[in-house]
């Protein structure tokens, strides 16, 4: 197949959707497909995969630039087009409100004759009666609904989102698919579960955003330190914390891979719960690193996370800390979680499987030229 992928971000941008796009593009080309990535990146690209053609148009993507992108995609003659989506990806300075986007998707379909699939990593800000829920959530919800109607297929990286839209459109259930995210950092060599890990090194990814529940990690650190004083918590990304934490900032993929290969335990509490849209959790599984995380409202109901992660209810901060201590005390349980997690990743979440599932769905959406 010839596939065009639209994503305003792409490496070396620091963006989860950009990382996703790059790894998906690589997996598609390794499976023999031709790929064009339309992005806003203007700096030199790092580690571009062979056979991935990159088309750049700098921000902001005004109508003229959207038209130019459309023309280049049309000239590529794709069999299908994948549009990556989060609310703030196309309008970072306007609260994610980009009313032209659904019309552009419809125009893209018309101009290229190719089916367009939306990949929704997020949907919209919550809709409610507060000022921000009305002024931000309402317009974002309307735009997303229009995007769904304008697309031939919608991939959700979270199973709960897919289920919601299948219930909304029971007669068109086949238009909505669950497509997990793979590891955003992959190991350079196969994980060796027989190699002992560092005795008491905890690891957390991400920023200080409230949804990441950093306070759970700090409480877990203090609980473990009460028994094992030399325990440390490494913070990867924009974050800092109390004594015993080391803020590492942004690291190269190789450096992150090294930490995942050595860490005793990944702490990954999320306000909305762990799900298959969390590339950092997938990275830990791929490295054979045991994971302690939370079950929340958006935890995929059929993924069976409890089989390969230590799982605590998102409302139980004390339980999260106790479980961290129990895992530090019990190497055999950590080893079992690591083995189960690695097996689950290789069987269900590797990029080659994600690429194959995507192309199978896109093939079914193709129309005769």
Domain of 324, in residue numbers? 201-349
* pTM for this prediction: 0.90
Q: What is the DSSP-derived secondary structure letter of residue 90?
A: S
C-alpha distances in Å from residue 272, one per residue of 109, 113, 158, 212, 213: 34, 38, 11, 9, 10
Over residues 130-146, mean pLDDT: 90
Helix count and strand count (H, E) for the chain = 12, 13
Give the separation between CA 279 and CA 349, rounded to whole angstroms: 10
pLDDT score at 288: 95
Residue 163 and residue 54 share a domain = yes
Mean pLDDT score across all residues of the chain:
90
Question: How many structural domains are present in the chain?
Answer: 2
Higher pLDDT, 240 or 41: 240
Residue 115 and residue 25 share a domain = yes
Judge whether residue 369 has pLDDT over 50.
no
Residue 290 and residue 209 share a domain = yes
Over residues 90-111, mean pLDDT: 88
Residue 159 and residue 217 share a domain = no
| Residue 106 maps to a domain | yes
pLDDT score at 83: 97
Residue 163 and residue 37 share a domain = yes
- Residue percentage of the chain with pLDDT more than 90: 67
pLDDT in tens, 197-234: 878 899 999 776 778 899 999 999 999 999 999 999 99
CATH of the domain at 231: 3.40.50.2000
- Phi then psi for residue 75, to 5 deg, are -65, -25
Residue 239 and residue 159 share a domain = no
Residue 344 and residue 361 share a domain = no
Question: Does residue 60 have a cis peptide bond before it, meaning omega lies within 30 degrees of 0?
Answer: yes
DSSP per-residue string spanning 209-253: -GGG-HHHHHHHHHHHHTTSTT-EEEEEBS---STTEEEEES--H
In a 3-state reduction of DSSP, which class is residue 107? Answer: helix
* Local confidence band at 157 (pLDDT 50, 70, 90 cut-offs): very high
* Local confidence band at 43 (pLDDT 50, 70, 90 cut-offs): low
- Residue percentage of the chain with pLDDT more than 70: 96
Residue 114 and residue 10 share a domain = yes
In DSSP terms, which residues pair with 266 in a beta bridge? Answer: 203, 291
C-alpha distances in Å from residue 141, one per residue of 127, 282, 296: 7, 28, 22
pLDDT in tens, 244-266: 888 888 888 899 999 999 999 99
Residue 360 and residue 337 share a domain = no
Identify the weakest region by mean pLDDT among 84-88, 238-242, 343-347: 238-242
Task: Work out the burial of residue 193: count CB atoms within 10 Å of its CB; fewer than 13 is exposed, 13-18 middle, 19 or more buried.
Answer: exposed
Over residues 14-29, mean pLDDT: 91
């Amino acid at each position: 197949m010839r596939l065009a992928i639209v994503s305003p971000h792409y490496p070396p941008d620091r963006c989860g959707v950009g990382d996703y796009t790059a790894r998906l593009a690589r997996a598609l080309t390794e499976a023999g497909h031709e790929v064009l990535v339309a992005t806003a990146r203007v700096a030199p690209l790092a580690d571009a995969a062979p056979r991935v053609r990159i088309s750049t148009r700098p921000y902001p993507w005004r109508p003229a630039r959207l038209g130019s992108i459309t023309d280049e995609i049309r000239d590529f003659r794709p069999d299908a087009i994948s549009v990556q989506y989060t609310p703030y990806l196309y309008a970072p300075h306007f609260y994610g409100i980009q009313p032209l986007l659904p019309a552009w998707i419809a125009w893209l379909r018309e101009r290229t004759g190719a089916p367009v699939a939306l990949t929704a990593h997020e949907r919209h800000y919550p809709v409610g009666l507060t000022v921000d829920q009305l002024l931000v959530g309402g317009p974002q919800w309307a735009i997303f609904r229009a995007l769904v109607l304008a697309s031939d297929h919608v991939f959700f990286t979270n199973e709960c989102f897919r289920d919601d839209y299948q219930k909304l459109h029971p007669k068109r259930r086949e238009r909505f698919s669950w497509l997990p995210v793979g590891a955003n950092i992959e190991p350079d060599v196969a994980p060796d579960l027989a190699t002992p890990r560092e005795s008491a090194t905890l690891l957390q990814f991400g920023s200080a955003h409230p949804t990441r529940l950093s306070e759970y990690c700090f409480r877990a650190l203090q609980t473990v330190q009460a028994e094992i004083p030399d325990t440390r918590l490494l913070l990867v990304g924009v974050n800092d914390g109390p004594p015993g934490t080391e803020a590492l900032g942004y690291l190269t993929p190789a450096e992150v891979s090294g930490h995942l290969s050595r860490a005793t335990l990944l702490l990954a509490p999320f306000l909305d719960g762990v799900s298959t849209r969390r590339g950092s959790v997938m990275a830990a599984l791929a490295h054979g690193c045991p994971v302690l995380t939370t079950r929340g409202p958006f935890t995929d109901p059929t993924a069976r996370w409890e089989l390969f992660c230590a799982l605590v209810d998102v409302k139980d901060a004390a339980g999260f800390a106790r479980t961290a201590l129990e895992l530090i005390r019990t190497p055999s349980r950590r080893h079992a979680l690591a083995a189960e997690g690695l097996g689950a990743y290789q069987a269900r979440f590797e990029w080659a499987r994600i690429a194959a599932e995507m192309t199978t769905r896109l093939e079914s959406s193709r129309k005769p030229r």
